[in-house]
Structure 1
Amino acid sequence: MIATHDHILKLRAELDQHNYHYHVLDEPSISDAEYDCLFRNLKALEAAHPELVTRNSPTQRIGGTALLAFTKVKHEIPMLSLGNAFDATTMVEFDRLVVEALDLPIEDDCTTVEYSCEPKLDGLAVSLLYRNGELVRGATRGDSTIGEDVSINVRTVRNIPLKLHGSGWPINMEVRGEVFISKAGFKRLNVSQMEVGGKIFANARNAAGGSLRQLDSKITASRPLEFCCYSVTTDICATHTDNLQQLQNWGMPISHELKLANGIQNCLDYYRDIKERRNSLPYEIDGAVFKVNSIALQRKLGFRTREPRWAIAYKFPSMETLTELVDVAFQVGRTGIITPVARLKPVKLTGVLVSSATLHNMDEIARLGVMIGDTVIIHRAGDVIPQVVSVVIERRPENAYAVQMPESCPVCGSPVERTKLVKRRKGKEIVSNGVLYRCARRLTCSAQLKQSIIHFVSRRAINISGLGDKTIEQLVDKKLICSPADIYKLKPEQIITLQGVADIASRKLIVAIKNSKMPTLARFIYALGIANVGEEIAKVLAQSLLSLERVQKALPEVLTYLPDVGLEVAHEIRSFFDDSYNQGIISMLLSPDECGLQLQNQLDLSAPFTISATLGSLLDKLHIPSIGSGVAQKLANRFSSLEGVVNADWLEMRHILPAKQAKAVRNFFNNSDNTNYAIAIEQQLKDFGMHWQSKKKFVKNLPEVGHTWVLTGSLKLISRTLVKDMLESLGAKVVSSVSARTYCVVAGLGATSNLAKAAQLGLQVLDEEEFVSFLAKHNITV
């Protein structure tokens, strides 16, 4: 028992350390697969020894029974709002008042006040109370004095530490910050909401607020929430920025954009810079926050009734405006999904003339209660397509009329079908109507075919330069291509007949098509256009299974062993490769006698995924009624093999399970289809080397694992996309902006702000020729 307890403590400490590297330092120390393996091992040990489970174990983030209501919490120190500035004049006035109140000297119209600068995240403010380094309470801001106790929900936010790192923290410490959802997380959330017929969120802020206030913490845990700390009520250091740095040392995530500014002009420079980079940030911001950095000076300045005198938020211009909905058009996507699009009376918003906006689906139209002719509020955040967020009912004209889904496809005239929603749980499939409508004609519908081929040749997929949207539309309309495979059968004399394509361009296009015949496995999977399989999932499939044959054969339950692949996505992948039409297209693309594509990077199974399965996890994935992960592990511990579980009689089952669960297991395996499918899953795990009895492969660390690279400027010898692929193949993480955690910068022509920041931080910078030499050392040729 002592050895087991020590092993559990070691696993918890290891997982906490990996969480710190991933969420706080933004420097992953192991792969997702290795992390998942450690987490499963800890979960299995705790299931077998429940007496050793503690509240702050990484496995205990999600609570059990849903709450009936939130209790109220009184903040010992009020969570005040900040004063707002909407122009530079107000900022200068704020600084003048600070200087006068502190009675500081002024030299050449430049004050000596040092300010901290941070982005203003668009989320929900919360306070976290730590006692002796352990998280004991989480609360919302509420009315600044009274908030709601959301402790059970903040525990599910992955980058909030349940126990602080290191030592030296105060006995009682209240940390404050913002819970938010990143842009990528918001997109994924709305896609998943559409799949299950749930509410579509208008913006990431509403999604974060609604998610954190769920009475069922399991729902909160399923949402991609993140936390960023911006203050602490206990004085730890002499300055605000030093406080935040110390909190980061203890495991709290802080903003990577935190900076110091001497004087108000440097604050205004920070505002202009972050406003310019706003669209490239991975999260939504609605301004910047400036605080007097010295804690002693903050105390001296004090507070007004509802806000501190030592801080201000400089807000960006509004991203919402009013306009008229003049019509609704219906667009057909590459998977046949028919999407309503609002046609608007043109209006300027954040400097862009907006004439259309997304309405998501018919259920969203019903929820909004929007009618053609209505005055609507539209929202535009970053580079996201504008969306209708609400209706101004008071301005509805008498001639407004309802939006109707067409009965036939607006492009090909085929019948429109409502999608079916399949929920799989505990061996059952529950089918209901989905929120989406689809043209049933697949690639024989020209709209679907065009979008499918546009996706196939796109830069991040097969990457055929010169084959633009207009050219593809003409090729489809002239019936020169009827599938992606037909691209590789095109001749120059066919292309030159197209409007706007000259002889030289047609021959260049033929060369580009020929040069695209050696894509990486990840690019090829992404190019196929499998529903819900984006670029990252395609990389996971390629980097985990490392051969198209394995990806094509993989059963859904086996695919769910891979990071970020849930059961619904796994079934989409399985369904795609089971389709005879898709099989035919893939065969033509890879046939030497037809198209002749040769996939790169197809190797043996990736080392981190060998022995990634356990008998307990396999039994859990079978979704036997009444059998959860803990009971599945009990069965695995008792019988040691799938065959032992399948053949165990009633009496043997009753030794470890209650009658109801024992009966459920026996009934499940008495069905020969269930037994055969379980055996098939186990056999595939053996074939893939993922079985618990498989020989563990040696894991050779890639040379750039844990290193973050930045690409900036334009490159002449090699495309930025290819550079990203090459660095990722070496294990590196590639991001768009420089920070203190950047390992190396590749700088091309025209590199400005990123290059200047790299020089300021003293980072390693490679020009294009030096980078090519770096690749050559790793046996990669350009």
Structure 2
Amino acid sequence: MPSAQSAAERISTLRSEIENHNYRYYVLDEPSIPDAEYDRLFQELKALEAEHPELVSPDSPTQRVGGAALAAFGQVRHELPMLSLGNAFEEQQLLDFDRRVREGLDLPGGDLFDAGIAVDYSCEPKLDGLAVSLLYEEGVLARGATRGDGTTGEDITANVRTIRNIPLKLQGKGWPRVLEVRGEIYMPKAGFEALNARQLEAGGKTFANPRNAAAGSLRQLDPRITAARPLELCVYGVGRFEGELPETHVAVLHALKSWGLPISRELRTATGVAECLDYYRDIGTRRDALPYEIDGVVFKVDALASQRALGFRAREPRWAIAFKFPAREELTELLGVEFQVGRTGALTPVARLKPVQVAGVTVANATLHNMDEVARLGVMIGDTVIVRRAGDVIPQILGVVAERRPPGAQPVHIPETCPVCGSRVERTQLLRRSKGRQTLSEGAIYRCVGRLFCRAQLKQAIIHFVSRRAMDIEGLGDKIVDQLVEAGLVSSPADLYCLTFEQVRALEGFGDVSAGNLIAAIEASRRPSLARFIYALGIPDVGEETAKLLAKALGSLARLQVALPEVLTYLPDVGAEVAHEIHEFFSDAHNRSVIEQLQARILIEEEGALHPDYAAIATLADLIDKLHIPYVARTGAQRLADRFGSLAAIIDADWLDLRQVERLNERAAQSVREFFADSQNAARARELEAQLHEFGMHWQSERRVAQGLPLSGQSWVLTGTLESMPRDDAKARLEALGAKVAGSVSAKTTAVVAGPGAGSKLAKAQSLGVQLLDEAQFLARLAEWESASRE
């Protein structure tokens, strides 16, 4: 036991630190440490005060709750204090709580599973929000208040009236004349994510977690701000009341529900502590699936008479306890930052941490996402950081405890060279939209320019190249790819087609049969469709569906390789950023070299002609608009097209000709003249026009007649399980007939094929009146359509 003097010093320090954290948490809504760290400080203070009761003072944080009310709000004095709950962090602490309850009620000890001595407890999730008191008089909402310091809170009546699930008038009958209900105002996960997205878009402050967002939203001086936030109430009890209420806690909550007040859907009654533990474990397994954040479970003695008999301590009731889940946020030290290189060459900063237990798992690494995130956090090597882990999500750093920054903290710098191959690292320029325009601007992604020379990129590129939806080379898993690269047998995807049986047989883990199977699988992949080949190349932002679109719309790899980004944006669902990535990929000399080697070793099955259902027909106004001539908007481009009729005429137009264009102002006319006076701009425009003509997309080209595929222009959805074929096969057969297979149902959906296990998509199709087919009907129709298309 520490001496009285040292204990007094530590108690003073702890009180000061806790009060500071209380202020930041309850008043500023800017917590600087995780809840788990706060709990540790509080438990240490409680233990010291228990050892030295003479040092306990009325102003100790253990003798009151939370922080002071904001001066901007009126104050409300709670006639019955709003107390905090005691916490349990381990199973034994819950067992001790149950033992104390039974002793306080003069129940005998014995087997915890003996129902004869068990206490009935209410069980509810512990929501992570802001505790409030709502006062109803004659059934009408009269006042809303925060908990504040437990005795005095803040008057937030105007704000709580804006929350949609708080009734302004109670429903039904039988409610007390005066009824004070207590509950938690929280923000659901989906609402929290949407709010942060809006805040980012507006350039505002984002919130660290839903609790922080709920507190900040509820305590706004302008109720209109609160009204715009996705807040909800969950009632967990009553305070003062004048009238009659049921005699158990659970019955009281069900009465409140009947009067229109929301209670937890997870409310249960448990007989004895063993059933409490079962409830805790069950909801712990479902925690991540819940639509709101919880940090534990609250157990209360259900009988109100027993609650009154047990009474209170100074700060907390003896009849209730919060059994907390393992902390999802912890403090630890940032020891360093390393950079990982991904398949596309992007460098991702990874934090190396002093190992710490978070949610029951030892965490030594955490993602920092990108350098913009590093700058936003202001994180430095040596900092004390807040680490969060939720479910299977990769641990991440949420923030920095700035007051704990050591003098020698070092800033995080992006390396100038790739940590894997030593190639130069450059910041990627990304296309951004601004009021309908596309412009190049610096993004947050740094890439190694080594591309397939870089082993980190090479391995990931080959793993993607051989995957099932790409070249589909069975048996080439990650470990085998790693062996091939490390042995120097493969330095590009093209080298796979030069492997010999003897080379594979010599690798660790291979015998004659497995080596033969791998060589056979490689041989079987030598005739890919163009769509598979495009997808296999691993072009950034080009997924399977975009690869299919490019293959059908352009018909050949040769066209795709030379396609200008502006031309690519004429294709459906190809935006400016994707078009830029495609063009940059095929502009890279090393990529072109690898593709030439692949073309010499495999036979790509191309359609040759452009597909009429996919290739868009360009207009002259489109072309002018895509040139991004300053001061010429889409309407101005259309007026130029209507007036001159051809690109050549617009390029050759003089100042007087341009001034005669109806409703084209002088500044725009001058800008057009100056733009085309630049020979490079004029040449670029002619290049675009020539390629549009070459690709059959020119506005003066003859529009080709569609080949009349049975399902051209139709949108289909597959849901549930198909017993006769994999979903991928069904999708491929529909697409071969001209249909687009979508992932969601809408009013534009032509038909939905519903197999066993169909869920929300089936329900939505029924509500929209979309045609439904079972598997037998679908197969019969497929056979008819495929037969017709062959004829």
TM class by shorter-chain length? 0.5 to 0.7
Please list the CA deviations of residues 536-584 of structure 1 after superposition, one character each: whole Å capped at 9, or x if unmatched: 4333323433332222222111111123333343233222223332222
Secondary structure of residue in 2 paired with 1:540: helix
Mapped partners of 1:649, 1:774: distance in 2: 60
Structure-2 separation of matches of 1:277 and 1:701: 49
Matched, 1:680 2:687: yes
Structure 1 residue 596 displacement after superposition: 1.6
Letter in 1 for 2:658: M
Q: 1:599 aligns with which of 580, 598, 605?
A: 605
Displacement of 1:374: 3.9
SS in 2 for 1:572: helix
Aligned to 1:541: 550
- Correspondent of 1:472 among 477, 481, 488: 481
Structure 2 contact 627–685 (Cα < 8 Å) conserved: yes
The answer to whether the 8 Å contact 1:727/1:734 transfers is no
Task: Report deviation, 1:338.
Answer: 1.9
Name the amino acid aligned to 1:636. A
- 1:500 and 2:500 are equivalent in the alignment: no
Q: Does 1:491 align with 2:479?
A: no
Indicate which of 656, 663, 669 corresponds to 1:662. Answer: 669
Note the 1:250-289 alignment, pairs <5 A.
286=292
Aligned ranges 1:734-773 → 2 under 5 Å: 735=743, 743-746=752-755, 764-766=773-775
Q: Secondary structure at the match of 2:715?
A: coil
Deviation of 1:758 (Å): 12
Distance 1:655 1:755 in 2: 55
Contact kept, 8 Å, 1:323 with 1:345, in 2: the verdict is no
SS in structure 2 opposite 1:463?
coil
Counterpart for residue 628 of structure 1: 633
2:216 corresponds to 1:210: no
Match of 2:451 in 1: 442
Q: Return 638-647 or 694-703, whichever deviates more.
A: 694-703
Residue identity opposite 1:470 in structure 2: K
Tell whether the 8 Å contact from 1:711 to 1:720 is kept in structure 2 after alignment. no
Query: Structure 2: any 5+ residue segments left out of the alignment?
Result: 1-120, 127-157, 164-186, 206-227, 232-263, 270-278, 295-323
CA contact (8 A) 2:689 2:698 kept: yes
Question: What is the SS of the residue equivalent to 2:124?
Answer: helix
**Deviations 1:214-241 (CA, angstroms, capped at 9, x unpaired):** 89xxxxxxxxxxxx9999xxxxxxxxxx
Cα distance, 1:683 vs structure 2: 2.2
**8 A Cα contact 1:420 1:431, kept in partner:** yes
| 1:454–1:472 Cα contact (<8 Å) kept | yes
TM-score (norm 2): 0.54
Alignment partner of 1:574 is 2:574: no
Whole-Å Cα distance in 1 between the matches of residues 328 and 353 of structure 2?
A: 14
The separation in 2 between residues aligned to 1:719 and 1:540, in whole angstroms, is: 22
The answer on 1:393 being equivalent to 2:402 is: yes
Q: Secondary structure at the match of 1:340?
A: strand
Distance across 1 between alignment mates of 2:573 and 2:356: 39
Which of 617, 623, 626 is 1:618 aligned to? 623
Distance 1:756 1:626 in 2: 49
Give the match for residue 168 of structure 1.
none
Which residue is 2:3 aligned to?
none
Q: Take 2:554 and 2:188, find their aligned partners in 1: how far apart are those partners?
A: 35
Other structure's SS at 1:607 match: coil
Q: 1:673 to 1:91 in 2, by over 3 A?
A: closer
Question: Counterpart amino acid of 1:90?
Answer: E
Cα 1:504/1:317, change in 2 over 3 Å = farther
C-alpha contact (below 8 Å) 1:461/1:523 kept by paired residues: yes
1:163-178 pair list within 5 angstroms: none
TM-score, length of structure 1 as denominator length: 0.55
Change (3 A) 1:417 1:488: same
Which runs of 5 or more residues in structure 1 are unaligned?
A: 1-86, 93-141, 148-177, 183-201, 216-227, 232-262, 289-315
Q: Deviations over 1:621-680 (max 9, x none)?
A: 111222111111111111122222122222121112333222221222223332232222
> Are the counterparts in 2 of residues 181 and 208 from structure 1 also a CA contact under 8 Å?
no
Indicate how the Cα distance of structure 1 residues 389 and 604 shifts in structure 2: closer, same or farther if over 3 A, else same. Answer: farther
Higher relative contact order (CA 8 A, sep 6+): 1
**What is residue 88 of structure 2 aligned with on the other side?**
none
Aligned residue in 2 for 1:696: 703
Q: Which amino acid aligns with 1:321?
A: E
Pair 662,603 (structure 1): closer, same or farther in 2 beyond 3 Å: same
Identity of aligned residues (%): 45
Q: Structure 2 vs 1, CA of residues 363 and 639 (structure 1 numbering), >3 Å: closer, same or farther? A: same
| Distance verdict in 2 for CA 1:558–1:617, change over 3 Å | same
**What is the CA–CA distance in structure 2 between the aligned matches of 1:395 and 1:533, rounded to whole Å?**
44
Deviation at 1:409, TM superposition (A): 2.5
Letter in 2 for 1:733: V
Shift of 1:483: 0.7
Q: 2:595 aligns with which of 583, 586, 598?
A: 586
The CA deviation string for residues 584-623 of structure 1, in whole angstroms up to 9 with x for no partner, is 22222223xxx223235x2532324555311111111111
Equivalent residues of 2:572, 2:614 under 8 A apart? no
* CA shift for structure 1 position 414: 3.6
Q: Which residue of 1 aligns with 2:562?
A: 553
Q: How many angstroms does 1:475 deviate by?
A: 0.5
1:90 aligns with 2:95: no
Q: Deviations over 1:69-118 (max 9, x none)?
A: xxxxxxxxxxxxxxxxxx993389xxxxxxxxxxxxxxxxxxxxxxxxxx
- 2:329 aligned partner: 321
| Aligned residues of 1:343 and 1:356 also touching (Cα < 8 A) | yes
Q: 1:641 to 1:470 in 2, by over 3 A?
A: same
Instruction: Check 1:642–1:351 CA distance in 2 against 1; reply closer, same or farther (3 A cut).
Output: farther
Q: CA 1:421–1:682 in structure 2 vs 1: closer, same or farther (change >3 Å)?
A: closer
Contact 2:567 / 2:692 at 8 angstroms: preserved in 1?
A: yes
What SS does the aligned partner of 1:499 have? coil
Equivalent residues of 1:707, 1:732 under 8 A apart? yes
Tell whether the 8 Å contact from 1:415 to 1:439 is kept in structure 2 after alignment.
yes
Equivalent position SS for 1:744: strand
Partner residue of 2:251?
none
Distance 1:752 1:492, change over 3 A: farther
* Residues in 2 aligned to 1:431 and 1:619: alpha-carbon distance in whole angstroms: 19
Specify the code of the residue in structure 1 equivalent to 2:200: G
1:514 maps to 2:523: yes
- 1: distance between equivalents of 2:762 and 2:668? 64
- Give distance in 1, aligned partners of 2:198 and 2:438: 30
Backbone CA RMSD of aligned residues: 5.2
Q: Is the 8 A contact 2:718 2:727 kept in 1?
A: no
Distance 1:764 1:420, change over 3 A: closer
Q: 1:363 to 1:229 in 2, by over 3 A?
A: closer
Q: Distance in 2 between matches of 1:687 and 1:180?
A: 51
| Pair 1:707-2:689 in alignment | no
Using the alignment, how far apart are the partners of 2:693 and 2:746 within structure 1?
A: 44
Give aligned pairs, total. Answer: 511
Aligned-partner Cα distance in 1 for 2:470–2:389: 28
Amino acid across the alignment from 1:645: I
CA distance in 1 between partners of 2:579 and 2:766 (Å): 46
> How far apart, in 2, do the equivalents of 1:733 and 1:319 lie?
44
Q: Measure the CA separation in 2 of the matches of 1:663 and 1:754.
A: 56
Residues 378-432 of structure 1 deviation map (CA, whole Å, 9 limit, x = unaligned): 4567866443232233555667544343343222234444445677999x99877
Q: Deviations over 1:261-310 (max 9, x none)?
A: xx9799999xx99x97988xxxx95479xxxxxxxxxxxxxxxxxxxxxx
Which whole-Å CA distance do the structure 1 matches of 2:427 and 2:447 have between them? Answer: 6
- Note the 1:125-164 alignment, pairs <5 A: 143=159
1:733 aligns with 2:741: yes
User: Structure 1 residue 527: deviation in Å?
Assistant: 1.6
